[in-house]
Every structure is written in structure tokens, then in C-alpha cells.
Chains A and B, each alone.
Chain A
Amino acid sequence: MVNRANSETSAVDEKTSFAGPKDYFALLKPRVMSLVIFTALVGMVAAIADGASVHPGLAAASLLAIAVGAGASGALNMWWDADIDAVMARTIGRPIPQGLVPKSEAAGFGMLLSALSVALLALASNYVAAGLLAFTIFFYVVIYSMWLKRSTPQNIVIGGAAGALPPVVAWAAASGTAPLDAWILFLIIFLWTPPHFWALALYREGDYARAGVPMMPNIAGEASTKKQIFGYAVILVIAGIAPYATGLGGTAYLAISSAFGAGFLMLAWRVLKSAPRSKEAPKQLFAFSILYLFALFAALLAEDLYAIYV
């Protein structure tokens, strides 16, 4: 037994010793981080266009802190979900299932970066923003990853709040407050999350079922999931118009939001009417949903930058 234990330890050590900086960077979920940076940037610029005053250096440091906080959440999520990541085709290539980074190191790495990111945001901006960032990390790791993800098909509906908070955190970093317009940005991402992830779950259903994650398609069934996707798409497209109603977005935003909203609804309708087990329509909706969110936030960013500099 001792020999077996020793040989297992040395095998792990041998593989672990081949982990490079890029493997630790992969723990931060760089693609999620890039979306967080983008939505946070839009929230911050919108706050500045709304009258907030912040030094560009402090704004950059705040965005860095928010990005690192998002990355820390990703590392802690990978630590907690290492067992299910190892059985899903989408996640099996992550550093922990690959045996490159030990779970304990991912946990330590995530906790250290969480503390540093919140401290840096408190220093660079204010305690409101730092408190919101700490809450975002807590919500993603404890409420979503540890509690909801394995216990309810509403996991990504409620858990989506964590992914929706970065523009609110950034708005608070710039202004010290979180007004209605900041929460409208939150609402758009919050309502966008279910159709986005359920479209993914529809063509990766086997993956989630094998891992024992109760995603909507493998609990409520495919037909119910498609109906819910369409329902959320309708509410999302209406929420997507809300920035125009409050003055957060202008006519250019309204045009882009309407055009991309029509596209979103059309693809959600195609998912609803698609044949059972069909993967094509959910794949198209999943891909378009990313473009939709990017287009809406890019339109807001462009309008705000125009208002600030022109």
C-alpha cells in the first residue's frame, strides 16, 4: 500500500511539475474573463457618460480588479467542479482534470486572487464596488457552484446573477452608486443567461446528464426547455429595449437592439419548432446569443464614447 501510495504521489508530482503559467492562467477561464471585462467596461463608461468622474488610471485598475475577481471565481469553480469537469467533453481538457494543477493549488490560487482583487478594488475605487465584487465571487462560488449547480435545473437562472453583476460593480466603481440604469445592464445579462446556456445544454445534453448536472433539458425535457428558451427570449428582447426608454441608450442603440432582438427571436422560434434531438438550431442560437449580447453592449459603449469625446 505504501509503495502504491508513493508511486501515485510521484506520478502526480511528475505531471504537476509540467504545469506552466498558461495552465494557471487557464484556471481563470480567460474567455469568461474577456466577457466580464467588456461588460464591466461598458458599465464604467456609461457611468462616466452619466456624469461620474474617475481618473483613467484608477478606472483601469478597477477594471483589472474586476477581471481578476472574475478569474478567481473561475479558479474556485474549477476546484469545486473538478469531478464533473473530468466527465464532460467540454471541460475534460481543463488543467485539474488533466492532472496538471492539483485541486488544492487551484483553491489556494482562487482564494488568494479573490482577496487581492477585492482589496485592490477597495483601494482603487470604493467600498460599495469592492463589496459588490466580493458578493459576486461569493454568489458564483458558494450559491451557484456549491449549492445550485447540482441541485436544481434553475441553477443557471439564479446563478446567472453572478455573471450579470460586473457592469453594476464597474458602475459603482466609477460613481459609488448603482442606479437603475446599472441594474438594467444587469437585467439584460441575467435574462440572456438562460436561453444562452439552455441552447448549449440542448446540444450537449449527454454531457450534463453523464456528469449528473440537472440542466433543464435532462430534467424538464427537451420540449419544455425549448418553450422556456422562447419565453426568456421574448422577455430578453423587451429588456433589451429598456435602455432606450430610460435614456441609457440612444436611437443607434434602439436600432441595433431591435435588429439583433428580431434575429434572437427568430432563432429561438426555430429552436422551438426544431425536430427532437436536432442540434443545428440550438447551436445557431448559442452562437448568435454571444453576438447579440456583444452587439447591444458595443452599441451602448459606442454611443457613450461619442457622448464623452465628441
Chain B
Amino acid sequence: MSDAPDLSPEAKKKRGQRNLAIALGLIGFIAVVYLVTILKIAGNIGGAS
């Protein structure tokens, strides 16, 4: 469960960047799905009234 002992500082830095990119990608996807859902619901409410 600990860090691989043979990773160089550069490799650790790249791993951190990859982890950050995955986190930002996930947050971005969740935000887009949330906003799209809200817009669709708002559109349906508008259409129904």
C-alpha cells in the first residue's frame, strides 16, 4: 500500500499529474451531467406550463 520504492521524483511528479487529471476529469463530467440534467428538467417544466 506504500509508494513503489523505485519511482524517481520525476515519475512521482507525473503520477501526481495523472491523478489530478483523472480527478478533474471526473469532477468535470459530474458537473456537466448535473448541469445538463438541470437544463433538461427546466426545459420540461417550461414546456409543461
- Residues of A in contact with B (beta carbons under 8 Å apart): 10, 14, 17-21, 24, 55, 57-58, 61, 64, 116, 120, 123-124
Contact = CB atoms under 8 A, between A and B. Distances in A.
Nearest to B21: A21
Nearest to B43: A55
Interface in B6-48: 6-7, 10-11, 14-15, 17-18, 20-21, 29, 32-33, 35-37, 39-40, 43
B12 to A, nearest CB: 8
B14 A123 contact: no
Contacts of A120: 29, 32-33, 36
A133 to B, nearest CB: 15
Tell me the interface secondary structure of chain A in the complex.
Answer: helix
27 contacts: A10-B6, A14-B6, A14-B11, A17-B14, A17-B15, A18-B10, A18-B11, A20-B14, A21-B18, A21-B20, A21-B21, A24-B21, A55-B43, A57-B35, A57-B39, A58-B36, A58-B43, A61-B32, A61-B35, A64-B32, A116-B29, A120-B29, A120-B32, A120-B36, A123-B33, A123-B40, A124-B36
Contact of B14 (A10, A19, A61, A116): A19
A115 to B, nearest CB: 12
Interface of B: 6-7, 10-11, 14-15, 17-18, 20-21, 29, 32-33, 35-37, 39-40, 43
A269 B9 CA distance: 57
A61 B17 contact: no
Contacts of B40: 58, 123-124
A42 B18 CA distance: 34
A120 B40 CA distance: 12
Given A17-B14, A20-B17, A21-B20, 8 more contacts: A18-B14, A21-B21, A24-B21, A55-B43, A58-B40, A64-B32, A116-B29, A123-B33
Contact of A123 (B10, B18, B36): B36
A20 B21 CA distance: 9
